Structure 1
Amino acid sequence: MTYLVSYRPQTDDSGVLALACQFARSEPDTVHALTVVPRGWETSAGAATDGEFETWAAEEGEASAKAALEILAREPGITAEATWVTGRSVPAAIMEQATKLNARLIVVGSGTDGPEGRITVSSKTDRLLHSSNVPVVLAPRGYDPAPGSKINRVTLAFRDDDATWKLLDEVAEICKRAGAELRLLTVALKHRTMVTSPVRGDEEVVYAKLLDQVKGAQQEALAHLASRGVEATVDVARGSSWAYALGGVTWTDGDVLIVGSSRTHQLANVFLGSGGAKIVRNSPVPVIVVP
């Protein structure tokens, strides 16, 4: 098995490699940097443009693999390798290599278009999320963990549904093996009401009941984990927007956030529901999206 990293030197974001190394230190495995170079169109045999493109692709691929290995060589205690392939579709090529390498995680970056410290889902990443049957890890733009660091705490976005409860047991086992702390986080949004609304008081009561339900479910989860010998903490992200709610949560170096895929989607792949997608886009720490 391996941690498969989608690496593109032109994005100038080595943080995606550093993030993969954090996982490899927490649960040892090989970090494999993969560059997908565009594949040219079919041309007639012997065409000059065909040969020129193949030469360019090989040069780009070799240079990218070399750059990745140079960066990974600066990471202590990491077993690393780097390769490149050609492909018409970057997500399809990544998935093909993930299957070939028996990848446990696919790690991708946020490119250069989005805000610093936040996750930007590109069109290629979005297609990968819709087709992957392997958990996908998304690194915020400019991610820069401390040298030699590990994953210290795993925060699970806790919904109190069957899918999340199943994921809870899996995450708890991973935390035990990796020696990481476990935290359950539920987002409880408080929708804004017009000042003139006659039902404002009623909505305050409804929100208070929602918080009671959230806390009750979290306490049930804590008791379940304790019965399995796992300690955990809980938190509630409150606010009138996803950004405000997640921004009010305490995050530290070595944190990652886990989000389960949509409970309404019937295929066994990574597919974010609207809530999960908003959590991803507003998270200040790396996010693992799990099928």
Structure 2
Amino acid sequence: MRLIVGYQATPSGEDGIALAAILARTFNATLDICIVLPCERPVPSKAPVEVAYDDILVQQATEWLAEAMALVPDDIEAEGRLLFDESFAQGLIDIATERDADMIVVGAASDGLLGRHAIGSVTSELLHVAHVPLALAPRGTRHSQVERLRGITCAVGNRPGAEVLTDTAFELSTEALLPLRLVSLVSIDSRAAGEDTRTRAARERDMAKADDNLRKAFESLPSRTEVESIVAEGNGIEKAVSSLEWHDGDVLMVGSSRLGQPRRLFLGSTAAKILRVLPVPMIVVPRGVGDRS
């Protein structure tokens, strides 16, 4: 497995490397630590005429890349790369294609809460156009003592293409001998506060639908697969996610929105709500990423 790590010389960049190291140990992966520089930049008025600004930028980026490589643990194979593109996200996507990478890894924006996710401009762009799974590190992952994943949780939906997500989760859990947990989230935020007959009937329908989603997901997996299945409910998706038990070393896998193009990411409203309260890394899987047609 090969992972592309988008690095910027910020704590967010360190978080991305920390998550990439955890994933690399878990899946025996190699890393490409990448800094993306703009193709062309104007020469600042204060710079000496004989000094090309691009040379100054490359020199600084080379130093940043050396610092990034120093963050990679000795037991993990990694290469540092300077890329040039007008878009940081597009540079990562292009190198992922060139290197036939399995995943892109990035850190959270610096304005998020510690231990939670925050979407910056690069991540936002990647979530709209990436063709490979995108792993998102919560803010502060660089301080984690976790060395490997301990388990994979897969959020199961009822939309077409959901089997691609469960297949990917199963493949990763099997490869790394990790326990797999299938979760169906039920939001009851549209229900009245009172437990009248109509409210109970609606809740029962939602729970039955969630159980059916889990059953279909389980049946799509190879026979004799041992997985945990659970329905989590709450007054809103955020509460449902928070009701689950999370441990250091867990990761949540979600599917791309149905609005996204096939083999492209698009973070839907439900996944965005999950991201706001999720205390562990998230991996977003594009629609049709496993299709062979």
TM-score, length-scaled by structure 2: 0.87
Distance 1:128 1:145, change over 3 A: same
**Cα contact 1:30–1:80 (8 A) shared by 2:** yes
- Superposed, which structure 2 residues align to 1:105-184 within 5 Å? 105-143=103-141, 144-147=143-146, 149-184=147-182
1:217 equivalent in structure 2: 213
Name the amino acid aligned to 1:145: S
1:100-122 deviations in Å (ceiling 9; x for gaps): 22211100001311111111111
Task: Say if 1:127 and 1:200 are closer, same or farther in 2 by CA, change over 3 A.
Answer: farther
Distance 1:140 1:50 in 2: 43
CA distance in 1, matches of 2:216, 2:100: 35
Question: In the alignment, does 2:204 pair up with 1:208?
Answer: yes
Preserved contact between residue 133 and residue 283 of structure 2 (Cα < 8 Å)? yes
- Tell me the amino acid that sits aligned with residue 131 of structure 1: V
Secondary structure of the residue that 2:80 maps to in structure 1? strand
Shift of 1:288: 0.5
Question: What is the rounded CA distance, in whole Å, between the counterparts of 2:235 and 2:90 in structure 1?
Answer: 38
Give the letter for the 2:8 counterpart. Answer: R
- Partner residue in 2 for 1:262: 257
| Structure 1 segments unaligned to the other structure (5+ residues) | none
Deviations 1:78-104 (A, max 9, x none): 111212223321111111111122211
What residue number does 1:91 align with?
89
CA distance in structure 2 between the partners assigned to 1:54 and 1:167 by the alignment = 42
SS of aligned partner of 1:84: strand
Equivalent pairs, count: 282
Counterparts of 1:1-291 in structure 2, within 5 Å, are: 2-11=2-11, 13-41=13-41, 51-72=51-72, 75-143=73-141, 144-147=143-146, 149-193=147-191, 201-225=197-221, 227-291=222-286
Gaps of 5+ in 2: 287-293
C-alpha contact (below 8 Å) 1:69/1:82 kept by paired residues: yes
Q: CA shift at 1:223, angstroms?
A: 4.8
8 Å contact from structure 1 (residues 222, 231) kept in 2: no
Partner SS for 2:161: helix
Deviates more, 1:159-168 or 1:94-103: 159-168
